[in-house]
A and B are shown apart, each in its own frame.
Chain A
């Protein structure tokens, strides 16, 4: 069954969506949308480095995404606004990645597969990495859900309950880096942010509790992955962007039908 490239693509898309959507809820709640984008863009530099050193793209992207996320976390409050600093770091690491790739010896590498994703080229080994990463992310969120939620609502309340919100922030940062690293082959660095934000935003209108929003976001993300793949197959469109389009349609529909007066 896994020999069919379409089945592999569907499983890859599902794996990414299931991990990205609940994490995306935290990204939305904590207003970290730009942080997600920045981490994803930085991963391109990681891809180039791993191609240069002929090591696994996943490891390279993960390492640079993690370095980026930790750098941003520790630099915050040094006199620049968060958005300014993210803008500087995200775009410069993307630019350095795009420039560095031209120095790679041998065949010229087409980076577009990593910018926009190439879900139809996912191998069995990639599937293992994607589902392994997704399992780690979901496990982290599951294990620390209560602490993460309280730290998101109020760092001071977390401190008073003996929880260190900075550690919870680190958990999210780690989860974000993993999602970026596993998603880069599926939707590409430029659209990972979309798979984080859009399903969560679409689920908001239908939710009254954080748990419901996380589950609905995962469902919507999964449907977007499958629907986008189906659409790409039927209409011969690029798979990654098609998934994002389906997610965006979900967002438009749920937002349109949300009850008025709900925050």
Chain B
């Protein structure tokens, strides 16, 4: 159930999940998740595969029925959603420009502006089915910018990008955030390396495991060595501070995940070697 909140409260979150639970059949994907994103905030969600990161985003946009809890949106919230991947059937001919016209027709100027903003300026007349993964990502971002969103929801936008590519993408998101003043809620497949500009990092594994701020240590030589010099401080480390252990039985969790399969037993980023060895696939 999606509710609309009041109008004039400035401290009110743009979008909020309240003890949200989602089930797929009998398996529980999310259990009692509380999350609020406020105006102009950048929040990164990290977590192992199958931890419900994408499920949380899809629940927030209203694409999934909730088993319990609720999603509360600011009244009249404009949101831009960038999905993880789009399978375009090869029998469907459609250009990038036409795609941007869905579901609301926009002017040529608007199309050009968002394509430039998203770094996809030259792609307007290309067929969607012919785009590379990175190009498609930028087109999806451009599309999300069309209605001047107050919040951008991005589902693993840097998947398939190398470290400089991720850094460039994060700088672009930061730039867009600066220009539009929108909030950003982003799912990342990296457990430890997150966007440096994140105000908050939330670690998810069916429920919220821990939350905190990333360590922005871009000046330290050891991190520069790790990330290379081309990232211009766009990346940062996140130290997980779990208050409970995932390795000792399931007694205090009543959901169905098998925690041993997740990489929660990792060394919690105590050294510069952690990000390299903890890449999740």
Contact = CB atoms under 8 A, between A and B. Distances in A.
Given A150-B102, A160-B63, A263-B127, A209 B94 contact: yes
B103 A150 contact: yes
A153 B88 contact: yes
B92 A210 contact: yes
B89 A160 contact: no
Interface string B241-278: 00000000000000000000000000000000000000
A160 B81 contact: yes
Given A146-B102, A263-B130, A160 B79 contact: yes
Interface string B65-90: 00000000000000111010010111
A157 B81 contact: yes
Interface in A210-257: 210, 212-213
Interface stretch (A10-18, A88-96, A200-208): A200-208
A249 to B, nearest CB: 20
Interface residues of A, number: 31
A153 B96 CA distance: 12
A147 B95 CA distance: 17
A156 B95 contact: no
Nearest to B86: A154
Nearest to B91: A28
B89 to A, nearest CB: 5
Given A158-B103, A160-B79, A152 B63 contact: no
Nearest to B83: A156
A212 B98 CA distance: 12
Nearest to A155: B63
A56 B59 CA distance: 46
Contacts of B104: 146, 161
A142 interface: no
The 4 closest A-B pairs by CB, nearest first: A160-B81, A159-B63, A263-B90, A263-B129
Interface of A: 28-31, 146-147, 149-150, 152-163, 200-201, 204, 207-210, 212-213, 262-263
